[in-house]
Amino acid sequence: MSMSIVETQYGRVESVHANGLHAFLGVPFAAPPVGELRWRPPADPTPWGGVRRAVDFSAQSWQPVLEGMGPLQFAFNADRAERHEDCLYLNVWTPGLDNRKRPVLVWIHGGGFSGGTGGTPIYDGTALARRGDAVVVTINYRLGALGFVNLGEVTGGRVPATGNEGLLDQVKALEWVRDNIEAFGGDPGRVTIFGESAGGMSVGALMAFAPAAGLFHRAIPQSGACSTAQSVARAAQVAEGLLELAGVSVNASAAELLALDPDRLVEAGTAVSAKLGGAMVFQPCIDGVQLTDLPLDAVATGSADGVSVMVGAARDEWRLFTAMPGFPAPEDDAGLQQALAGRIDDPEAVISAYRSAREGRGEAADAATLYSAIETDRVFRIPAIRLGEALAARGRESFQYLFTWESPWEDGRLGSPHAIDIGFVFGTHALNPGSAEFFGSGEAADALAGHVQDAWLAFATDGDPRTDALEDWQPYAPETRATALFGDPVSVALDPWGEERAVWDGVNAGIGTL
């Protein structure tokens, strides 16, 4: 073990070099967004003299303490992590501090735009960087009431927040990568952004976000694509509810709002989610300036032309949520129709079509199973397919995948759930007993991790994820709908679960919304 020093544009950073890899943790990419900088676009960090030690993860963005995470409690144990508004830091893993110009992968964490951190152990970039001779970066960004609340509308501009400050943090991190990553052995001309859940939705939003243009060259939205963003009217409703529950008036002065305790804001954010009945009331805002349209519509008119895309989901995403408190699965068809009412226009027809498709394949078709299948597709799989279709309509290549590997958690009752891909992308599937219980371990799991990492790394290298194991994986086209299936074994299928996919043809309302 030895120490390594790198010169960044803001000062020198020092960290550990061990087992052929350098890991720089807690590197500032923006000034602390505190005081007058709360709810403002991120500013440059203050340069420092001497050498700054970069051996520990930073505090995470202020967020609720997570409880009742069910199968994922091992991963998101935020109750034992420091929270602070001073959170805009990133982490870098690199095989060499040289001029090799390696591909760079920048991870945007998930957490419903209200939780998470780039320092979560299952996001450790060691295995991925080492396997592909690549540079891996994970980032923090402002969350919830501090990163995705449009206060400009309700305060008459006294607090000019657009609701996209969290996205601007992500842009600031990408600007840091552009300006500094070459000193860490990376290629600023080969930057891939990838993320899962709200991280995938962030990737999708950045594909349409004007300030992000030119800062990345490839994109991998995982279990979240370009269909999640809210109108200014909805964002204003959330902001009004937030201030009311925080005990302040929309007419309060900017000084009063800036003085609000962050814990009070986070508690109000949790309360407004419950009041408005939305699972994710904080999300990117279509402000008409920086984000001019729903990201999918922007991509359809060329906002992501020139960006290589690989996109996908897991087969049974929603089963993770029904295994958590607060997301009960319906017990009968009456409860199923009630659960879907307000989310889709004709629940009865959708339920009938899904039941027919599943029974035709000899699969379970009870109310709880159908609920998870429908919500999986509505929120995650269909948005991924719509992105592939939009790119194909523009003559742009993209690659589609579906995770089918099944979690062993509680005798496999989750199927292939939300977040199942993460441990295999990072090679952290057997990091500890909790991760092994969720992702799986052993020879088959290790082999899948190798296949997944090889595909992600190949894509980051030249925009083509095909490997020897997936040589038949063709770009996505409506005529064939080639889809890589990441299971045991890996394979390629044409239009998998096509009967269910066809149910959504022509349906736009409710797709990707939470």
Q: What is the CATH number of the domain that holds 233?
A: 3.40.50.1820
Residue that has been written with the tokens 């894509």 in this structure: 459
Rounded mean pLDDT, 400-417: 97
Residue 128 lies in a domain: yes
Domain residues for the domain of 447 are 307-503
Q: Burial level of 492, CB count in 10 A (0-12/13-18/19+)?
A: middle
pLDDT, position 497? 98
Residues 200, 105 share a domain: yes
Q: Could you read off the pLDDT of 85-107 as tens digits, one per residue? A: 999 999 999 999 999 999 999 99
Residues paired with residue 403 on neighbouring β-strands, in sequence order:
314, 486
Residue 183 lies in a domain: yes
pLDDT, position 68? 63
Residues 115, 14 share a domain: yes
Q: Model confidence at 79, in pLDDT bands (50, 70, 90)?
A: very low
What is the C-alpha separation between 251 and 484, in angstroms, rounded?
53
pLDDT, position 209? 98
Q: Could you read off the pLDDT of 150-166 as tens digits, one per residue? A: 999 999 999 999 999 99
The angle subtended at Cα 105 by Cα 70 and Cα 317, nearest 5°, is: 30
pLDDT, position 76? 66
Residues 365, 289 share a domain: no
Residues 355, 328 share a domain: yes
Residue 510 lies in a domain: no
**Residues tagged active-site:** 197, 317, 418
Question: Could you give the 3-state DSSP secondary structure of residue 454?
Answer: helix
Residues 38, 20 share a domain: yes
Residue 34 lies in a domain: yes
Q: Model confidence at 477, in pLDDT bands (50, 70, 90)?
A: very high
Query: Among residues 228, 263, 297, which one ends one of the domains?
Result: 297
Q: Which of 54, 63, 135, 124 is nearest to 89 (CA)?
A: 54
When divided into structural domains, the chain yields a total of: 2
Residues 233, 137 share a domain: yes
Residue 57 lies in a domain: yes
pLDDT exceeds cutoff 80 at 206: yes
Q: Model confidence at 413, in pLDDT bands (50, 70, 90)?
A: very high
Residues 464, 497 share a domain: yes
CB of 150 closer than 8 Å to CB of 161 = yes
Token readout for 320 is 């993770």
Query: Among residues 257, 274, 297, which one ends one of the domains?
Result: 297
DSSP annotation of 56: S
Query: Among residues 246, 270, 297, which one ends one of the domains?
Result: 297
Residues 394, 288 share a domain: no
Answer whether the bond into residue 489 is a cis peptide, omega within 30°: yes
Residues 414, 336 share a domain: yes
Percent pLDDT > 70 in the chain is 98
Q: Which of 113, 221, 97, 105 is nearest to 173 (CA)?
A: 105
Residue 511 lies in a domain: no
pLDDT, position 387? 98
pTM of the predicted model, to two decimals?
Answer: 0.97
Residues 323, 241 share a domain: no
Average pLDDT, the chain: 95
pLDDT exceeds cutoff 60 at 121: yes
Rounded mean pLDDT, 465-469: 98
Q: Could you read off the pLDDT of 219-275 as tens digits, one per residue? A: 999 999 999 999 999 999 999 999 999 999 999 999 999 999 999 999 999 999 989
Residue 508 lies in a domain: no
pLDDT exceeds cutoff 60 at 80: no
Q: Model confidence at 78, in pLDDT bands (50, 70, 90)?
A: very low
Residues 263, 336 share a domain: no
Q: Burial level of 273, CB count in 10 A (0-12/13-18/19+)?
A: buried
Residues 290, 319 share a domain: no
Q: Which residues contact 259 (CB under 8 A, 6 or more apart)?
A: none
Q: Which residues contact 478 (CB under 8 A, 6 or more apart)?
A: 389, 392
pLDDT, position 119? 94
Residue 509 lies in a domain: no
pLDDT, position 377? 98
